[in-house]
Structure formats: C-alpha cells, structure tokens
Amino acid sequence: MLLDLPPLVFFGGKGGVGKTTTAAAVALALSEAGRKVLLVSTDPAHNLGHLWGVKIGDQEYSLSENLEVCEIDPALTTKKHLEQAREVMYSMMPERLHKEVDHHLALSASTPGAHEAAILERLADLITTREERGYEHVIVDTAPSGHTAHLLDMPELMGAWTEGLLQRRAQSEKFGEVVRGFDATGKDKAAGVSGDSPVERRNNRIRHILLRRKEKFAKLRHELKHAVCVIVLVPERLPVLESVEFKEELARIGVPVAGYVVNRCSPADQGEFLAARREREEGFIAQLRASVGDALIVRVPLLATEVQGFAGLREYAEALGLSRS
Ligand SMILES: Nc1ncnc2c1ncn2[C@@H]1O[C@H](COP(=O)(O)OP(=O)(O)O)[C@@H](O)[C@H]1O
Ligand SMILES: [Mg+2]
C-alpha cells in the first residue's frame, strides 16, 4: 500500500512519466489522512505550481492545513551560499584582494556540479529540520533518474569533502601555531599566543562553519538511511529496463524501492487497438515483475484528461489505490 511510507520518500523515473503527478497525489493522500507533509520539487523544470494552479517558489507554500509545497531554486541557494563564502573570504583577505575574491566566486557559481550541490544543500536543510518543523513526511519529486541517484549519493561525497577541509585546516593551524610560536630570534614564545587573536578568531569561525556542515551532512546521511524511493514508469520495453537498472543503482547506495507505479496503462475495454496495446504492456509488466521479486507494482490507467488541482489529484490517488480518509 502506497500510504504505508517512511518519513522520507523520493519519487524517481524518466521525464514525463508522471513523477510529479504521483508524488503530489501521494502527498495529498497522506495529508488528507491527517499527516503533516512537505512536498519538495528538486527538478529545475518545476511544475508543481502548474499542477496546483498556484505560483510556488523556493519558500514553503501552504496548500492546505497539512500540506506544504516548495520548488527548490538552485540559483537562489547558490547565491546565498556564495554570499556566506564571500563574507568569510573578505574577512580573511586584505581589501585589495576583494576583487579577486569576487572573480573567484563568480567562477565557482558556474562550475559543473554547482547547481546540483546547491539543490542538495537546500534539500539537506529541509530534510534535516523535518522533525523540529513537525513534518511527518518529506516527499521529494525529483528530476529524471540519473540525477536522483546522484543526489542521493552526494551526501557521502560532501561529507568526505568537508572532513578533508577540516583536516587540512587543522594541519595548517598547527603549522601556523608553530610558525607563530617562534619570533625572529627563533626563541619559543608559544606560551604568549592569546586565544582570541584575529587569526584565531578567524580560524575558529571557519572551523565552526565546516563543523556545522559536517553535522548537517551526517544528519542527512542518517535520514537517508531510512529513505525509500518510488519508481514511476510507463509500460514500455526501455522504461522497464531502465527502471530495473535504476533499482540496482539505488540498491548500491542503500535506498530500497517502496514500489513501482506503472502509469498510463491502456484500457483493455476500449476497442481492439487499445486492448492489443494493453496486452503488450502486460508483457512488459511481467518482465518488471520477474526482475523485482514481490515488490509492490501499482498500475494507473491512462486518463482522458490532464491531472490538475485537488480534484484531479484525488481522482489520480484513487486510481493509485489510495483510499480517501
Ligand atoms: N495516467 C495519466 N493519464 C493521463 N495523463 C497523465 C497521467 N499521468 C500523468 N499525466 C499527465 O502527463 C503529464 C506529465 O506528468 P508529470 O507528472 O508532470 O511527469 P514527470 O514529473 O514525470 O515529468 C502531465 O500533464 C500529467 O497531467
Ligand atoms: Mg516532474
């Protein structure tokens, strides 16, 4: 049953298969069953707003008592992140080098991966504050498959990277202390180094920022240990093969698949053409079944109209087999 979900759920799959619709329908059903839900879109081509017919941005938007949504804006996160980095670097560098700092930061904003790192940063903030903000579920509507697995894998990398920076700082601080410990005559004056010199204050500040990041990514990794993914696909040959590959990639990074939603299934009772299609589709679903053991597979029929708003999503949730509260 798709309502029986842990606090953190990712919806993944190819573009256009119905991830956003399915994630939104599940989020709505959970919220109507009395749980407080945050639905987050990480796909830069957001369409949660379009789906609900409202303008949604990077900040949480309340759709109903128990349902909030937000569309992560990587550009905004990058900007905030760079502003913080600028502040730290300005305080470390003499004023004549501040132009260099600006140049360097402008370059880092356009580095490959900066976008994804910014999405992860914001997502990490939302996920790691879930409990204190009272959300029982965070439902993540992701961009196409590759991106999702990468996103789920990144906390490991970010954690290791932050740890590396911390170690390097510890080394250079030790070195600095040793250097400062001797005056020009080579006489040891370590005992005289005060605990709040500008250099030490700066070092403490940087250490504090790095430690906070380290804690955040550790917490994110902990939350991800209990996360599951729902894979959405259409009943065709390639999507089935890709979904099986996706499941294996997720298994490698330790994220179980809670279920497969096979969307846009042709009706068997609407004429010969569609019935023949349905038969073919059942063949592909049988292939999926053979590769995923007894995992949950839910079929959703092809609907006559585009899914939109509360009414459309309730109807879609019903097609998903989610009972109304
Ligand atoms: N079962 C369905 N029948 C008809 N249209 C559907 C169905 N599922 C989704 N759609 C429509 O298909 C389009 C793409 O769905 P969407 O959820 O945005 O896909 P994704 O997020 O995977 O790109 C939307 O216009 C949606 O309303
Ligand atoms: Mg989408």
Per-position DSSP letters for 165-213, written without gaps between them: HHHHHHHHHHHHHHHHTB-TT--B-GGG--TT-HHHHHHHHHHHHHHHH
pLDDT at 201 over 70: yes
Mean pLDDT for the chain? 86
Between residues 264 and 1, which one has the greater pLDDT?
A: 264
Ligand 1 pocket member 16 (CB < 6 A): yes
Q: What is the mean pLDDT of residues 257-278?
A: 96
What domain range includes position 145? Answer: 8-75+116-319
Residue at token pair 């959405």: 232
**94 occurs within a structural domain:** no
Q: How far is CA 312 from the centre of its chain?
A: 26
Single-letter amino acid, residue 123: L
- AA identity, residue 231: I
Whether 100 is covered by a domain: the verdict is: no
Q: What mean pLDDT is predicted for residues 277-291?
A: 98
Is 162 close to ligand 1, i.e. is its CB under 6 Å away? no
- Cα–Cα distance between 190 and 264 in angstroms, integer? 73
The atom of ligand 1 lying closest to the CA of 45 is: 23
Residue 58's contacts (CB-CB under 8 Å, 6 or more residues apart) are 70, 71, 72, 73, 76, 77, 122
Cα 181 to Cα 170, 184, 189: the distances in Å are 16, 10, 5
Question: Which residue has its alpha carbon closest to ligand 1 atom 24?
Answer: 306
Retrieve residue 72's tokens: 């992560």
In this structure, is residue 283 part of a structural domain? yes
Pairing of strands 61-64, 67-71: antiparallel
What is the 222 CA–ligand 2 centroid distance (Å)? 26
Q: Is the beta carbon of 17 within 6 A of some atom in ligand 1?
A: yes
For ligand 1, what atom is nearest to the CA of residue 24? 17
* Residue 6 structure tokens: 């842990």
Q: Is residue 95 part of a domain?
A: no
Residue 323: what pLDDT?
61
Indicate whether residue 318 lines ligand 1 (CB < 6 A): no
Hey, what amino acid is at 195? Answer: G
* DSSP state string for 96-158: GGHHHHHHHHHHHHTSTTHHHHHHHHHHHHHHHTTTTTT-SEEEEE-SSHHHHHHHHHHHHHH
If pLDDT is split at 50, 70 and 90, which confidence band does 316 have? very high
Strands, DSSP E only, in the chain? 8-12, 37-41, 61-64, 67-71, 137-141, 228-233, 257-265, 297-301
pLDDT per residue as tens digits for the range 60-90: 999 999 999 999 998 888 888 788 778 877 8
State which of 11, 21, 48, 236 you would mutate to test the pocket of ligand 1, scoring each by most atoms of that ligand within 8 A of its C-beta: 21
Angle of helix 74-92 relative to helix 98-109, nearest 10 degrees, comes to 160
State the amino acid at position 70 in one-letter form. C
Instruction: Kindly report the protein residue whose alpha carbon is nearest to atom 23 of ligand 1.
Output: 16
DSSP state of 68: E
Q: For ligand 1, say whether the CB of 4 is within 6 Å of any of its atoms.
A: no
Residue 65 lies in a domain: yes
Please tell me the total count of domains within the chain: 1
With a 6 Å cutoff on the Cβ, whether 307 touches ligand 1 is: yes
* pLDDT above 60 for 190: no
> Strands 67-71 and 37-41, how do they pair?
parallel
Which of 12-16, 192-196, 230-234, 317-321 is predicted least confidently?
192-196
For 159, which DSSP code?
H
Cα of 242 vs centre of ligand 1, distance in Å, is 19
Torsion angle, CA of 277/280/281/287, rounded to 10 degrees? 180
Supply the CATH number for residue 279's domain: 3.40.50.300
Task: List, for residues 113-127, the tens digit of each pLDDT value.
Answer: 777 778 888 888 999
Ligand nearest to the Cα of 18, by number: 1
Look up residue 230 and give its two tokens.
């729902």
Comparing CA positions, the residue from 284, 252, 279 lying closest to residue 268 is 279
Q: Is residue 124 part of a domain?
A: yes
Share of the chain above pLDDT 90, in %: 51
Read off the pLDDT band of 92 (50, 70, 90): confident
Q: State percent of the chain over pLDDT 70.
A: 88
